[in-house]
Amino acid sequence: MPSDNHGQPQFLPLDPQQPRAYPQQPAYGQSAYPQQPAHQQYRPPSPASANGWQQPHWSYSWAPPPPPPRRNTGSKVVLALIAVSAIVFFALVIASAITGSISRTRADVTVDHTPARATNPDAAPVDASNAQAVLRDNTLYAQGGLANGDCPAQDLGEASKEEQTRFYEALMGCLNDEWRPSVESAGYTYEEPGLVVFDSAVITPCGSASPGDGRTLAFYCPSDKVMYADVPQMRKYFGANDVAYAIVIGHEFGHHIQRETGVLSAFDDVVYDDFDNRLDLNRRVELQASCLGGIFLGAIAESYSMDQSKLGQLGRVAGSFGDEPGGDDTVRDHGSGVSNREWILTGYRVNDLGRCNTFSAPADAVD
List, run by run, the mean pLDDT of 10-residue segments along the chain (367 residues): 35 31 27 40 40 38 38 31 25 26 41 90 91 98 97 95 97 98 97 96 89 76 92 88 92 95 95 92 94 97 93 85 73 83 94 98 95
**What is the Cα 221 distance to its own chain's centre?**
11
Structure confidence at residue 207 (pLDDT) = 85
pLDDT at position 67 is 44
**pLDDT of the residue at 160:** 97
Q: What integer pLDDT is reported at residue 186 of this predicted model?
A: 96
Helix (H, G, I), strand (E, B) or coil at 220: strand
Closest CA to 143 of 350, 300, 353, 295: 353
Query: Whole-prediction pTM value?
Result: 0.74
**How confident is the model at residue 248, as a pLDDT?**
87
Of the candidates 63, 114, 103, the residue with the CA atom closest to the CA atom of residue 302: 114
d(CA 359, CA 366): 9
Q: Distance between terminal CA atoms of the chain?
A: 34
At residue 39, the pLDDT reads 53
